[in-house]
């Protein structure tokens, strides 16, 4: 589909051309248009929104939210409310998912149109003279712009370059399955891996998750990772830690076998000098979901031809406002160094659009970007871990305070467990004033509650003031208030 208001091959001029209509791209386009710029967005797919709206955030959360009702029904029975689960109408569930995606993409299309942002569908490239060439299939169009923002996103990383197939799948293929698998192996322990593990497990799939380290979410605080690992196992997911995947076998028939080594066993055998016993293990299932990260979409030759410098990981090198090594070419989202999350891309898009307009915005602060995982239970964090804070020379008197979630009545009522910890410390400029440096949560509603913590971390709120804030009773949000009181040396309902 192409823009019918322009004839193929015509030359168009804009203040800004954005390549990619995912969260970073469309946010930059909308903000630039709001500031009075003429803007065009180039999208290679038939619809706008990128991975997030079409094959990521929105469809996965639509399924997770719907399937969560199964857990609600099971818990209801344990407290005397006799609800029964009679299975899943997969066709109706997929219709619901498609409806949510359609609603969001249509809404975005309407908003872009309202802001007078031109949307052109086709494959974009940047010529040496910085013209933007759009391959529309049967013709090519040349766009000229004062500035260009590149927001080409990322793709799922395969295991050892093994192609994805009917049984070795990425998250896109997982969302396109005709039904939930009977059994599944998941390689990885980050957000995508844990969300599909919880989704499938709740729906009745036998799930085995292979984590390379001693816990899931190994880059988060240790307490959060250990707690979530325990809760996933308690919910019936088989989590195998220290698992180093070595190969994946998939035949012509349905089914797949994953081979892995156990790092602890290897280390033990090495120390004992026993090199004869094999450390190899295997697990078989209908499918294996490879969720080991995403690769930036920067492999096209035109990146180099346009003078856009990449690092050793294929990420675009930028300054703190998104400016690349090529003058008037900017980059946002998954192709830049940092956490590959939609809400980070949103803020980058806003910041870069404002920088282009000369507004001198504040750079994106990575310490204030929350991470959320819609697993069961949920997990969320923002700011520094204890180890991160201790490693920073400008911080003193760093402490971590843990709060027992089950001391909260509403948490107990949900039938879930979890953990919450607060990291505090003093900046050298204010050595006697502890501030909130980070918060790490596992438990019900964690993905919603973390926004409050983000405000505290971003505003460097003094601990004494934060602990004085009143949380409504009885709510799960009281866990934050109680944790802050404990960190301030004034515990109420905890020791």
Which residue numbers belong to the known binding site for NAD(+)?
Answer: 188-195, 293
DSSP string, 22-50: SHHHHHHHHHHHHTT--EEEEESSSSSSH
- Alpha carbon distance 262, 269 (integer Å): 11
Known binding positions: 61, 152-154, 188-195, 293, 334
Report how far residue 209's alpha carbon sits from residue 274's, in angstroms, rounded to the nearest whole number. 28
Contact 360, 180 (CB under 8 A): no
Instruction: Determine how many CB atoms are found less than 10 A away from the CB of residue 309.
Output: 12
Does residue 377 have a cis peptide bond before it, meaning omega lies within 30 degrees of 0? yes
Give Cα 303 distance to the centre of its chain. 25
- Indicate the burial class of 146 (C-beta count within 10 angstroms; 0-12, 13-18, 19 or more): middle
* φ, ψ at 32 (rounded to 5°): -65, -40
- Give the contacts of 384 (CB within 8 A, at least 6 positions apart): 367, 392, 423, 437, 438
User: How far apart are the C-alpha atoms of 436 and 481, rounded to whole Å?
Assistant: 13
Measured between alpha carbons, how far is 451 from 455 in angstroms, rounded to an integer?
A: 6
Q: Are strands 39-43 and 118-121 parallel, antiparallel or unpaired?
A: parallel
Name the token pair of 363.
């750079």
**473 catalytic residue (yes or no):** yes
Assign 135 to helix, strand or coil: strand
Q: For residue 192, what are the contacts with CB-CB under 8 A and spacing of at least 6?
A: 171, 291
Distance CA 142, CA 13 (A): 9
Which of these, 201, 172, 203, 195, lies nearest to 93 by C-alpha position? 203
Which residue has 């697993």 as its token pair? 375
> Residue 114 has what DSSP assignment?
H
Catalytic residues: 473
């Amino acid at each position: 589909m192409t823009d019918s208001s322009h004839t193929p091959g015509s030359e168009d001029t804009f203040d800004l051309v954005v390549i990619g209509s995912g969260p970073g791209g469309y946010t930059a386009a909308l903000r630039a248009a709001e500031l009075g710029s003429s803007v065009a967005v180039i999208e290679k797919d038939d619809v706008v929104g990128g991975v997030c709206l079409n094959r990521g955030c929105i469809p996965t959360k639509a399924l997770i939210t719907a399937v969560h009702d199964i857990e609600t029904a099971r818990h209801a029975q344990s407290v005397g409310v006799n609800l029964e689960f009679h299975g899943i109408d997969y066709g109706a569930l997929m219709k619901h998912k498609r409806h949510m995606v359609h609603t969001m993409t249509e809404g975005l299309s309407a908003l872009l149109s309202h802001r007078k942002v031109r949307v052109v569908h086709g494959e974009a490239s940047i010529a040496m003279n910085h013209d933007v060439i759009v391959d529309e299939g049967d013709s090519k169009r040349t766009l000229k712009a004062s500035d260009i923002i590149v927001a080409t996103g990322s793709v799922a990383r395969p295991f050892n370059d093994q192609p994805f197939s009917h049984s070795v799948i990425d998250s896109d293929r997982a969302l396109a399955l005709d039904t939930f698998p009977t059994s599944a192996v998941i390689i990885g322990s980050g957000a995508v891996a844990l969300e599909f593990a919880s989704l499938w497990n709740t729906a009745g799939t036998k799930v085995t998750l292979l984590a390379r380290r001693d816990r899931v979410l190994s880059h988060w605080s240790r307490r959060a990772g250990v707690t979530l690992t325990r809760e996933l196992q308690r919910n019936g997911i088989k989590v195998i830690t220290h698992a180093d995947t070595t190969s994946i076998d998939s035949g012509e028939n349905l089914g797949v076998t994953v081979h892995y080594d156990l790092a602890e066993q290897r280390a033990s055998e090495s120390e004992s000098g026993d090199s004869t016993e094999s450390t190899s293990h295997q697990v078989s299932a209908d499918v294996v979901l490879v969720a080991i990260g995403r690769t930036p979409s920067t492999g096209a030759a035109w990146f180099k031809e346009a003078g856009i410098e990449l690092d050793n990981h294929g990420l675009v090198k930028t300054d703190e406002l998104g400016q690349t090594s090529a003058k008037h070419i900017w980059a946002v989202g998954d192709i830049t160094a940092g956490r590959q999350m939609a809400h980070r891309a949103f803020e980058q898009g806003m910041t870069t659009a404002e920088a282009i307009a000369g507004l001198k915005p504040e750079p994106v602060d990575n310490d204030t970007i929350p991470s959320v995982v819609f697993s069961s239970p949920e997990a969320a964090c923002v700011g520094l871990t204890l180890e991160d804070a201790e490693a920073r020379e400008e911080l003193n008197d760093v402490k971590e305070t843990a709060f027992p979630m089950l001391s909260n009545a509403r948490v107990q009522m949900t039938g879930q467990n979890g953990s919450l910890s607060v990291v505090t410390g003093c900046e050298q400029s204010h050595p006697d004033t502890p501030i909130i440096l980070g918060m790490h949560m596992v438990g019900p509603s964690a993905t919603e509650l973390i926004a409050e913590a983000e405000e505290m971390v971003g505003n460097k709120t003094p601990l004494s003031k934060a602990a004085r804030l009143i949380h409504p009773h009885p709510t799960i949000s009281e866990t934050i208030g109680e944790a802050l009181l404990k960190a301030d040396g004034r515990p109420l309902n905890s020791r």
